[in-house]
Amino acid sequence: MYVIGAGPGGLAVAYALRARGVRAVVLEKSDQVGASWRRHYDRLHLHTTRRLSALPGLPIPRRFGRWVSRDNVVRYLEKYAEHHELEIVTGVEVSRVERSPDGTAWLLHATGGRELTGAAVVVATGFNHTPHIPDWPGRDSYTGELLHAGAYRNAEPYAGRDVLVVGIGNTGAEIAVDLVEGGAKRVRLSVRTAPHILRRSTAGWAAQYTGVLVRRLPVGLVDRLAGPVGKLSVPDLSAHGLPRPDTGLYSRVTAGSIPVQDVGLIDAVRKGKVEIVAAVDGLEDDEVVLADGSRISPDAVVAATGYLRALEDLVGHLDVLDARGRPVVHGARTPRNAPGLYFTGFTNPISGMFRELAIDAEKIAKAVAGGAAGTEAGQVSRLPN
């Protein structure tokens, strides 16, 4: 069978399958494992603990610390693939997955006209696949510097400059702090909807631990519990433009918006080093038009406006995606109309992405090994050298 994508999800599934005696070939379009992690900004660390972020079959080294850095995540993924002797073919991009002509397997169309046939397929192309910048009015004619957060590496190019960061997810919040610490002259953060902000750790208790504990509780109950805790641990930033959210924390999570883990944003906002401004409504010449009617002219705009899963061309014709372009199922479950097609890594749970990838990998491997797909490695035609 085939696994599409050599990120943490794909590698974890490949190992779990191999451990159950199922041959899995990982197809990766880049020339290395962990490609998306290599592109993240320099200061990034996991917001989940080392102990709860390991993939099946190999702990993350203690020397990497409690909050593992981007570079060490990459080192771990490289070691993971080597340690488990995973079968990975790089430089091969799968463009379309469809049923084989006889309907008994899956046919993968890949780079160079390759056609690969497997009994089962796991799609693990990643939550952060394709950078997305909103189609703001005037964007095409905007003369200022505009880049997606995916192209941001560090604050060095922005020292002494006026920078607007758009979006207050974890990426936007951390880039804003990075810019402040890196010597930007002015940093503004454009916010459309005030987020829930959590301390990453309180008295040694990681926010992830709470996320794991409440993962299966009713949404309303978690919302009620989280409210008082948030008020005790996070100061009211309303005077600085960040009011407390008017919807519950877990309600937001189920709608696809995870809390912001504080890595310095609270202090930066309180001290006026990061200024909160209204949402972006459009761009005009060298100006940014905000939702409150004001106009600003920053030297650079960093759009921390998220990513697309970009699954439509790959599997959209199979009727396995929801209205937001995400798989209708994940983990061990397969779409009713597409047995043998699995997805992992397309949710963003409060209990931790790596932790859930590890759990999903074991479930997928168990499901595959227990079914007909577990008895076949898949037939290959024109497999790349």
Mean pLDDT by 10 residues, the chain (385 residues): 97 97 96 95 96 97 97 98 98 96 93 93 93 96 96 98 96 98 98 93 88 89 85 91 90 85 96 98 96 97 95 96 93 94 91 94 95 42 35
Instruction: Assess whether 164 and 294 both reside in one domain.
Output: yes
β-strand partners of 62: none
Instruction: Assess whether 208 and 96 both reside in one domain.
Output: no
- The DSSP element (H or E) to which 180 belongs, if any, is helix 170-181
Q: What is the distance between the alpha carbons of residues 240 and 196, in angstroms, rounded to a whole number?
A: 15
Domains held by the chain: number: 2
Q: Domain boundary residue among 303, 332, 348?
A: 303
Amino acid (one-letter) located at 169:
G
Instruction: Assess whether 246 and 152 both reside in one domain.
Output: yes
Instruction: Assess whether 324 and 242 both reside in one domain.
Output: no
Query: Residue 284 belongs to a domain with what CATH number?
Result: 3.50.50.60
Assess contact for 344 and 9: CB atoms under 8 A.
yes
Assess contact for 18 and 83: CB atoms under 8 A.
no
Please give the pLDDT value at position 378.
39
Instruction: Assess whether 9 and 94 both reside in one domain.
Output: yes
Please give the pLDDT value at position 39.
92
Q: Domain boundary residue among 274, 303, 332?
A: 303
Q: What is the distance between the alpha carbons of residues 362 and 217, in angstroms, rounded to a whole number?
A: 23
Report which of 209, 189, 214 is spatially closest to residue 199, judged by C-alpha positions. 209
Amino acid (one-letter) located at 368:
V
Instruction: Assess whether 139 and 250 both reside in one domain.
Output: yes
Q: What is the distance between the alpha carbons of residues 304 and 43, in angstroms, rounded to a whole number?
A: 15
Strands (E), 22-113: 25-28, 87-90, 94-99, 106-110
Q: 131 is written with which tokens?
A: 């950078």
Instruction: Assess whether 144 and 52 both reside in one domain.
Output: no
Q: Which residue has the tokens 């200024």?
A: 275
Beta pairing class for 186-190 and 162-166: parallel
Please give the pLDDT value at position 154.
97
β-strand partners of 380: 116
Q: What is the distance between the alpha carbons of residues 291 and 281, in angstroms, rounded to a whole number?
A: 5
Q: 142 is written with which tokens?
A: 């905007």
CA 276 centroid distance within chain: 24
Per-residue model confidence as pLDDT tens digits over 66-121: 999 999 999 999 999 999 999 999 999 999 999 999 888 999 999 989 999 999 99
Q: Domain boundary residue among 303, 325, 341?
A: 303
Please give the pLDDT value at position 381.
33
**pTM (two decimals):** 0.90
Instruction: Assess whether 203 and 293 both reside in one domain.
Output: yes
The three-class DSSP label of residue 108 is strand
Instruction: Assess whether 161 and 291 both reside in one domain.
Output: yes
Please give the pLDDT value at position 379.
37
Please give the pLDDT value at position 348.
83
Instruction: Assess whether 124 and 137 both reside in one domain.
Output: no
Q: Which domain holds residue 199?
A: 133-303
Beta-carbon count within 10 A of 129 CB: 18
Amino acid (one-letter) located at 177:
V
Assess contact for 172 and 276: CB atoms under 8 A.
no
Please give the pLDDT value at position 283.
97
What is the DSSP secondary-structure string of 227-262? HHHHHHHS--BGGGTBPPPSS-HHHHHHTT-PPEEE
Instruction: Assess whether 113 and 231 both reside in one domain.
Output: no
Instruction: Assess whether 175 and 52 both reside in one domain.
Output: no
Please give the pLDDT value at position 3.
98
Beta-carbon count within 10 A of 172 CB: 24
Q: What is the distance between the alpha carbons of residues 299 and 104, in angstroms, rounded to a whole number?
A: 57
Handedness of CA 42, 207, 173, 223 (dihedral sign): positive
How close are the terminal C-alpha atoms of the chain, in Å?
A: 17
| Helices then strands, each counted (H, E), the chain | 10, 23
